Structure 1
Amino acid sequence: MCTCLSLLLSAHATAGNDFVSAPPITPKPNAPPVPSPLIGLPKSVKAMPAVSRAYTDAIKILEEDSECSRFFGGTEVATGVLNKMTARLTVASLSSPMVGIRMQGDIGHVSNFRTGHSYRLFEKVVVNSYGPFASISDRRRAFVGSYPASSRRGRVLMLLHELAHLMKGPNGEWLIPDDGGGRNPMLSLRNTETIERVCRGRMKFI
């Protein structure tokens, strides 16, 4: 099992290196068209307005052609993978109030025959109900990039950071390198800075 943490204290960490992937999943050539990106969230997550808002903000950022959406492979690919990721969201109370999101479990590698893109998915994406998406003891000291962790921009930046760990760029490398599930906070911080830099232009509108 691989546990991926989002540590919210001027750094944000995700996918670790010690995972075993599931067999590749390749859709059939006659797969139906990609559904509308506004597919909603699992019922358990809809009860948490902050998460629903972060999801809506992420869709808003990615559905427009921009440097940010192109970084994630274009609007169709970006919103499609975001929807696959958020469909696995659950909410649970984790031990640390500084943990925002934990991705864990088996990993499947998916190839989209129609778009030509591939990505990976963790079995579970757990939002900490006692973390930055909800209420933490000292919000003023917790940041994601340059944004307060509990702000709309901080939350959406966290989702986009997680999304980047699932996708590869044109060079075949992950959009941001694995930052060790909290074991490499400086790399995690640089990864967050990368996402903020390419998406800042769109994030300023939320």
Structure 2
Amino acid sequence: MGIIEWVLSFAFGGGRNAVAETVQVFRENTEAGAARAAQHQSQTLEQFAQEFKLQQRGWFDRLMDGLNRIPRPAMALGTLGLFVAAMVDPVWFAQRMQGIALVPEPLWWLLGAIVSFYFGARHQAKGQEFQRSMAQSMARTPQVVENIQALEALTEEKEEQKPIVVSKAGPKPLEQSAEYNAALEDWRQANG
């Protein structure tokens, strides 16, 4: 044993671990790697803490940040509100849309440009598509008004009637529609 120790001591110097140093040539020192990883993680968390640190800002900066957050939710909720308004009072909604139809086209283009610059793009194709669909919706307004009047007339009557189905062709008795089920009607009358 003394000769091997003397050879290794001669090759690597006194007081050194020849086996550990030889292995480190082929494989990373796990303890040193863990220390480097811990230091890296600590520095990363420190950097994140600096990025997300609450900055002391003035009232004007806070006000502007709040105002910049309003348009997108306002437009989304406003659009949902239009759908609700169309269902609650279709005639009122149709009257408002007729008023919007009177807005001159250059003003639509200006509004489209402002909105597209604010949100990022896609205004021309989608805007023209929207106008076409609005025109198609307005063309159906008289039919919708007739159907609503027919439904209101049905709710006002106190006496019992045969069920009515409202379709594109207008109101008609249930027996003439595809949804009529004679067995189901007999069961409903029997169980009243």
Q: TM-score range by the shorter chain?
A: under 0.3
Which protein has greater RCO, CA pairs closer than 8 Å, 6+ apart? 1
Structure (1 or 2) with the greater strand fraction: 1
More helix per residue: 1 or 2? 2
TM-score (norm 1): 0.21
Q: Which protein has the larger Cα radius of gyration, Structure 1 or Structure 2?
A: 2
